[in-house]
Amino acid sequence: MPDRPRTIPILRPTTGEEEASAARRVILSGWVTQGPEVAAFEREFADYVGALHACAVSSCTTALHLALLGVGVQPGDEVVTVSHSFVATANAIRYTGAVPVFVDIEPRTFNIDPQLIERAITPRTRAILCVHQIGMPCHLGTISEIARRRNLRLVEDAACAIGSEILHQGKWEKIGLPHSDVACFSFHPRKLVTTGDGGMLTTRDAQLDAKFRLLRQHGMSVPDTVRHGAATVIFESYDELGYNYRMSDIQAAVGREQLKRLPGALERRHQFAARYSALLAQIPGVLVPEQPTWARTNWQSYCIYLPEGVGQRAVMQAMLDAGVSTRRGIMCAHREPAYARQPWSCGSGEGRCACPGGNCERLRNSERAQERSIVLPLYDRLTEEDQDRVVAALRDAVMSTRNLPAAKHAGGGSEIV
């Protein structure tokens, strides 16, 4: 019986001796929690994206929570966002006691459809939480204008978007500048910059930045870095309910080395994405990602639509059997069991969605994207030979699984154009 081929993973973080040495240096320094390395990482990250302020935290989920609290989201408010995102986007809204109002996506960019935002706004709306899905920038220009005109706060879920850019007022600017009140990033291992886990908030607003720094450390009035360096005894106070959302110095030291790798990682991913698109053009019915003329994605993930009549799970299983890992299309929070027990709205202006069976007529593009798309392997150390194997496995899987039953949630949906 022949040996099973080496499995090509969906991703593989790029780490090496530089990151190991940085972590070792911090471990031996005696200061391993939030301290000087975190401060240095914040400065370097802010410089990279062009932000005035950057605040490191324990994850992008905690960054989103603090961002929403910082812009004043309270229990009973509504936040306009997408269901078609990792569940943390909606969860962060619920952590504040607010209600997520889900808007459908543009099929080819996987991002919020800005033409649908205004009809989702009610007198209870406090903020818009837009997502740069899998690194593809959403239409910030249009969304920012809506937020300004309707006197709403705007938060960017930029979890996947480090290194992505938009064309703004005639020049290319990095996501995270930010072009909103706050942008939130992730350093999970699936991202281009990883600290194992972690997050960052960027803002132009010094008061917001101070708020984030207070809340991430239990609401402590005097940071421990100040107390440890003081020549006199200092008693701190806890004047506000805060959280333990800190990043460690070990993580930050790794993040600083990862930032140095980012330009090379971006260049390689752009090359791999262009090669994927050329190779996949040979498979009838496969739709490859589209990049708007005003956006430059970092290609955090490469997500395709499968041809009509092809079962998503069957294709993924066939590719796994051939030694190629994939992931399903981006999830829809409104379809998850937890959100059968959580309040949410689909922007109809009629309160909670009444559509049966976990599907929503107003979120058809989101549901169709979940059912018909898959994510292909893409990481820095991918080779052309690996890509050839991925495409060959996809071609064979599509041919062998055509017209098999679709996914569990399959239902009616709009055409992908």
Beta bridge partners of 172: 167
Q: What is the arithmetic mean of pLDDT over 14-37?
A: 96
Given this model, what pLDDT does residue 415 score? 43
Q: What CATH fold (topology level) applies to the domain 17-259? A: Aspartate Aminotransferase; domain 2 (3.40.640)
CATH 3.20.20.80 for domain 262-331+359-401, yes or no, is: no
- Phi, psi values for residue 352, rounded to 5°: -60, 140
pLDDT tens digits, 361-412: 999 999 999 999 999 999 999 999 999 999 999 999 999 987 655 444 433 3
> In the chain, what percentage of residues exceed pLDDT 90?
84
Residue 128 has pLDDT above 80, yes or no: yes
Q: For residue 6, what pLDDT band results from cuts at 50, 70 and 90?
A: confident
Given this model, what pLDDT does residue 92 score? 98
Residue range(s) in the chain whose domain bears CATH number 3.40.640.10: 17-259
Q: What is the arithmetic mean of pLDDT over 85-111?
A: 97
Given this model, what pLDDT does residue 293 score? 95
- pTM of the predicted model as reported, rounded to 2 decimal places: 0.93
Contact 55, 209 (CB under 8 A): yes
What is d(CA 64, CA 88) in angstroms, rounded to the nearest whole number?
8
Given this model, what pLDDT does residue 178 score? 79
What string of H, E and C letters represents the secondary structure of the chain? CCCCCCCECCCCCCCCHHHHHHHHHHHHHCCCCCCHHHHHHHHHHHHHHCCCEEEEECCHHHHHHHHHHHCCCCCCCEEEEECECCCHHHHHHHHCCCEEEEECECCCCCCECHHHHHHHCCCCEEEEEEECHHHCCCCHHHHHHHHHHCCCEEEEECCCCCCCEEEECCEEEECCCCCCCEEEEECCCCCCCCCCCCEEEEECCHHHHHHHHHHCECCECCCHHHHHHCCCCCCCCECCCCCECCCCHHHHHHHHHHHHHHHHHHHHHHHHHHHHHHHHCCCCCCECCCCCCCEECCCCCEEEECCCCECHHHHHHHHHHCCECCEECCCEHHHCHHHHCCCCECCCCCCCCCCCCCCCHHHHHHHHHHHHEEEECCCCCCCHHHHHHHHHHHHHHHHHHECCCCCCCCCCCCCCC
Single out the residue of 161, 156, 158 nearest to residue 143, CA to CA. 156
Given this model, what pLDDT does residue 352 score? 65
Contact 214, 220 (CB under 8 A): yes
23 half-sphere exposure, CB direction, 13 A CA radius = 13
pLDDT tens digits, 165-192: 999 989 999 999 978 999 999 999 999 9
Residue range(s) in the chain whose domain bears CATH number 3.90.1150.10: 262-331+359-401
Selected residue with higher pLDDT from 231 and 316: 316
Residue 109 has pLDDT above 90, yes or no: yes
Selected residue with higher pLDDT from 347 and 232: 232
Structure tokens at 355: 């559509």
Contact 152, 125 (CB under 8 A): yes
Virtual torsion, Cα 374, 378, 383, 387, nearest 10 deg: 10
Q: What is the arithmetic mean of pLDDT over 353-368?
A: 83
Strand bridging mode 295-296 / 199-203: unpaired
pLDDT tens digits, 48-88: 999 999 999 999 999 999 999 999 999 999 999 999 999 99
Q: In what order do the strands lie in the sheet with 165-168?
A: 171-174, 165-168, 295-296
Residue 297 has pLDDT above 70, yes or no: yes
pLDDT tens digits, 333-345: 999 999 999 999 9
The mean pLDDT value of the chain amounts to 92
